[in-house]
Amino acid sequence: MAPPIVPADAAGIARAGALLREGRLVGLPTETVYGLAGDATSDTAVAAIFAAKDRPRFNPLIVHYDEAAAVEAHASLTPLARRLAEAFWPGPLTLVLARAAACRVSLLCSAGLDTVAVRVPDHAVARAVIRAAGRPLAAPSANRAERVSPTRAEHVAAELDAAVALILDAGPCAIGVESTVLDATGSRPTLLRPGGLALETIEALVGHVAIDTDHRDGAQRAPGRLGRHYAPSRPLRLDATEVRADEALLAFGPQAPSGARTALNLSPTGDVTEAAAHLFAMLRALDDPRHAAIAVMAIPETGLGRAINDRLRRAARR
């Protein structure tokens, strides 16, 4: 049975908070994508998140806080982390930090690592729910493992059923791709996953950011196993410059080729930020068995284009 979708008003937020205190799971809007939230301090709630998503236990979860000050009790904020948090929280940046000695976050969230990934989302509803729950919330994207992330409440309902007690609907997510994940355990940052905060913006603050090419967004413990991710059921054909008659087209910019049986444009003006906001919803809309494949035009590797290309390359793996 599909879980109930309710408006993210005061009553909905209070109900979500009560359910989370009982150890239940809630579909939660953030500025990036919808999350599948549970009490990060409860082993049973965190285990239920892994089960609902069919997520491998070696893939750690992000823990969400309503303010930066609340992170201190659970994670060791390095001077680098403090600078990043001050500049970019609340916002689409996740910091991987050493677990603090008194950390109460379930060890399951860390998946056997001695680190914990933390962020403060830039979404009033997400922060209000964290406050109503009275504890940090573990929240991976609210899709089944390896599938396209949800950017609308209806996507969550389509992906996950009875395991979710409630889905709060706050409309489409403004950013549309997941947070940027940075390792900030040392004095220099390493990019683990490109995302909703552009690398250029981070580098303007802290200088060069190293890029970890081994981190495979959820597969760092099992190289190769989960290269495929964010995947629609139709094959993707990347860097398309023309389109075949039996394909759907995911276009970008003003020069879209004609001839597709159906076409959507990520951004007719060629704006990568707008394209990120549309990416997952358009991939879902074009994921129809009537199409032999989805042809996707090239996206520039700048700003949020880096996160878009990362998702498209993983989605294209077979």
CB 51 within 8 A of CB 159: no
Among 30, 59, 106, 141, binds Mg ion (CB under 5 A): 141
Which of Mg ion, ligand TXA, none does residue 61 bind to, with CB < 5 to 8 Å depending on kind? ligand TXA
User: Is the peptide bond between 90 and the residue preceding it cis, with omega within 30 degrees of 0?
Assistant: yes
> Which of 13, 249 has the CB closer to ligand TXA?
13
264 binds ligand TXA (CB under 6 A): no
Among 30, 106, 265, 267, binds ligand TXA (CB under 6 A): 30
Question: Looking at 8-16, 112-120, 241-249, 290-298, which segment touches ligand TXA (CB under 6 A)?
Answer: 112-120
Among 6, 68, 100, 113, binds ligand TXA (CB under 6 A): 113
Show the site string, 117-156: x = touches ligand TXA by CB under 6 A, - = not. x---------------------xxx---------------
Residues 6+ apart with CB under 8 A from 53: 36, 140, 143, 144, 145, 160
Q: Which residue has 């390792």 as its token pair? A: 183
DSSP 8-state symbol, 200 = H
Distance in Å, CB of 31 to ligand TXA, minimum:
8
Angle between helix axes 305-316 and 272-286 (nearest 10 degrees) is 20
From CA 243, how far away is CA 255, in angstroms rounded? Answer: 13
Residues 6+ apart with CB under 8 A from 313: 238
Residues that bind ligand TXA in the complex, under the rule CB under 6 A: 30, 32-33, 35, 59-62, 94, 96, 110, 113, 115-117, 139-141, 178-179, 181, 192-193, 217-218
